[in-house]
Chain A
């Protein structure tokens, strides 16, 4: 029985993951044509490479269809209820850094904290007759964060992309999104609320707690990776 390792199937995240494993003596490679999602592993026996969309890796880990998987902490925490009962982080990999933050228009000179956002939400609702809208695709994380901070009178509106543009388009008053450099926020005249981000995310190697993993192979792999 082999250990199935799920890795993002393209882009920077895939390249960085391959490099991270290569540095530790495990070579991952795509095989076949550029378009074929097949992979090969050398440097260790019994590990099988599965190339997947990064967004599907949390689900596959929970279902136990892959034993190990590389994905962002943000996706795991957003998509898996009680995530720490379902998966175990084995290694933070030191790339794919991103912060989940709340941002508001820069001209809101009266707002710098969650405390302000709460007060503004109350005033906004009184003025406009509906709850202040926060555009995001991270519903669970944002809701839990705002609930813990005691923010009321807001509503989440779903935004799967170009979230920074929703305020100008009048479909939201604030946003919660992943940012690395803040350049897109800046270009869209937004500023980040002070304090800790909702989540600091990075690419992480997770192990499924539900799969029937070959423990001998896992032990060997962990030794090889220095975990």
Chain B
């Protein structure tokens, strides 16, 4: 583990570099209202963050990341476009036995700019690439936007598409649903019997007969879902070629420069990704104008799927051979929509972990 003073000095250096790149330095509170973070990330964050309580303010969390408070601050009173940088500690409970730090420094750079997303993606990646050059790190990239577009184009019911979209960030569950909707995997236990039992009956009576209505979820909602299940039983399987195309997308792992061709091949089967692939190509072109050496950058179709679920476009990471990433980031347009209460702005950014950077050495 690197010395704390060294980590601080390294963080200061990165913080200065990001300010030189045009970002305004910002501060955020260490204690964040837990409700917002829990609503955003779900129970998984409760297992990972430090939660404490305040008699007046309610549950508070020791800042598990900077993105949420930065977005909130920007949505409140940020001018456009905006570039921010920040430096400070974040806190994460680590699984016992991993030996990973539960308190560590992050230095970040975030761009809020609606003029040219591909250019903003390239700007962030190029800045990280310059800042981290010569450290022997491997850069990996991905694009959650392509996955989302792929799912949106599948020939199936809106309900099934929504179920898949919701689980893009849970690879195992996503695969199980995909197999099921393709007719390749088992239906949920008891589903066929239930749908058979509903045939020709009044759903309201079935619900009434099952038990007294208690709790906030109403009988009306139960009836609506029974109705949906009945209709779902008649939805045809997703064509095998489309399923194979989605799986092929997830399997891609190759130099980013040749990935465009592979993606175009997949797009022949899944025309819905064409726009997303065009965006990918635009980003690639923008990276070239930023003089990024792409020969050592890979594209991985599944990259970013297991991180916390707010990235919805370009994702990237810098790491040394399979170690924990030194830097990571991505685009999170949807997050600004959620936190903006009606307003939104395309946003992309990332963080460097100076402790990991020092360990990676020169």
Q: Interface on A for B, CB 8 Å cutoff? A: 81-82, 85, 105-110, 112-113, 115-116, 118-120, 122-124, 127-128, 130-132, 140, 143, 146-147, 149-150, 152-156, 167-168, 170, 172-173, 189, 191, 194-195
A173 touching B216, Cβ below 8 Å: yes
Within 8 A of A (CB), among B277-332: none
- With A107-B212, A131-B39 known, 16 other A-B pairs at CB within 8 A are A81-B96, A82-B96, A106-B212, A109-B226, A110-B222, A110-B229, A120-B217, A122-B162, A122-B166, A123-B225, A131-B42, A153-B166, A155-B38, A173-B216, A173-B217, A194-B190
Pair A156/B46 contact, Cβ less than 8 Å = yes
A85: B residues at CB distance < 8 A? 97
**B99 an interface residue at 8 Å Cβ cutoff?**
no
- 1/0 per residue, CB under 8 A from A, across B189-229: the answer is 11000100000000000111011111111010110111001
A124-B222 contact in complex given A115-B188, A150-B170, A150-B176, C-beta closer than 8 Å: no
Contact B207 A107 (CB under 8 A): yes
| Complex CA–CA separation, A106 to B167 (angstroms) | 27
Q: A110-B225, A194-B189, A194-B190 are in contact. Are A153 and B214 (CB under 8 A)?
A: no
Q: Which of B26-71 contact A (CB under 8 A)?
A: 38-39, 42-44, 46-47
Q: Determine the chain A residues whose CB is within 8 A of the CB of B189 once the complex forms.
A: 112-113, 115, 194-195
CA distance A177 to B173 in the complex (A): 25
List chain B residues, Cβ under 8 A from A107.
207-208, 210-214, 219, 222
Whether A108 touches B172, Cβ cut-off 8 Å, given contacts A119-B163, A128-B216, A150-B167, is: no
Cβ 8 A contact of B214, one of A82, A127, A189, A194: A189
The residues of B that contact A106 with a CB separation of less than 8 Å are 210-212
Residues of A within 8 A of B229 (CB): 110
Among residues of A, the one whose C-beta sits closest to the C-beta of B42 is A152
The 8 A-B pairs with the shortest beta carbon distances in the complex, nearest first, are: A150-B173, A106-B211, A107-B211, A115-B188, A167-B215, A110-B225, A109-B210, A107-B210
In the complex the two chains form, is B166's CB within 8 Å of A143's CB?
A: no
A155 touches B42 (CB 8 A): yes
A188 nearest in chain B by CB position: B214
Residue of A81, A82, A127, A152 most packed against chain B (CB within 10 A): A152
Q: From residue B47, how far is it (CB to closest CB) to chain A in Å?
A: 6
CB of A119, distance to nearest CB on chain B (Å): 7
Min CB–CB distance B196 → chain A (angstroms)? 14
B228 to chain A, nearest CB (A): 8
Given A113-B190, A143-B47, is A153 in contact with B42 using a C-beta cutoff of 8 Å?
yes
- Nearest chain B CB to A83 CB, angstrom units: 10
Q: Which of B168-194 contact A (CB under 8 A)?
A: 170, 172-173, 176, 188-190, 194
> What separation, in Å, do the CA atoms of A91 and B354 have in the docked complex?
49
* Residue in B closest to A155 when the chains form the complex, CB atoms: B43
For the complex, what is the distance from the CA of A118 to the CA of B194, rounded to whole Å? 17
Question: With A and B bound together, what is the CA distance between A124 and B225 in angstroms?
Answer: 11
A86 — nearest CB in chain B belongs to which residue?
B96
Closest residue of chain A to B217 (Cβ to Cβ) is A173
Min Cβ gap A98→B in Å is 23
Size class of B's contact patch?
Answer: 35 or more
Interchain residue pairs with CB less than 8 A apart (24): A82-B96, A82-B97, A85-B97, A105-B211, A105-B215, A108-B210, A109-B194, A110-B222, A110-B225, A113-B190, A115-B188, A118-B173, A119-B225, A120-B217, A122-B166, A123-B224, A123-B225, A124-B217, A127-B221, A150-B172, A152-B166, A173-B215, A173-B217, A194-B190
Secondary structure call for the B interface = helix
Report the separation of the CA atoms of residues A190 and B163 in the bound assembly, to the nearest whole angstrom.
26
| Given known contacts A82-B96, A110-B226, A113-B189, A147 and B44 CB-to-CB distance under 8 angstroms | yes
**Quick check: A109 and B216 within 8 Å, CB to CB?**
no
Asked whether, in the complex, the Cβ of A109 is within 8 Å of the Cβ of B42, the reply is no
A109 to B195, CA, bound (A): 11
Q: Could you tell me if B212 and A189 are in contact, using CB atoms closer than 8 angstroms?
A: yes
Q: Write out the residue numbers on chain A whose beta carbons fall within 8 Å of the beta carbon of B206.
A: 109
A111 to B93, CA, bound (A): 34
A156–B46 alpha-carbon span in the complex (Å): 10
- Decide: B211 and A189 in contact? CB cutoff 8 A: yes
Q: A105-B211, A119-B163, A150-B173 are in contact. Are A170 and B216 (CB under 8 A)?
A: yes
| Shortest CB distance B190–A (Å) | 5
Contacts of A143 on B, CB cut-off 8 Å?
Answer: 43-44, 46-47
In the docked arrangement, what's the CA distance between A106 and B189, Å?
18
Whether A156 contacts B43 in the complex (CB less than 8 A), given A110-B225, A150-B167, comes out as yes
B59, chain A: closest CB distance, angstroms: 11
Closest-CB distance, B266 to chain A (whole angstroms): 25
A118: B residues at CB distance < 8 A: 173
Check B214 against A105 for contact (C-beta < 8 Å).
yes
Residues of B within 8 A of A120 (CB): 217, 225
Inter-chain CA distance A191–B214, complex, in Å, is 12
A74–B97 alpha-carbon span in the complex (Å): 22
Determine the distance from Cα of A118 to Cα of B177 in the docked complex, in whole angstroms: 12
Given known contacts A112-B190, A112-B194, A167 and B214 CB-to-CB distance under 8 angstroms: yes
* Chain B residues within an 8 Å CB radius of A194: 189-190
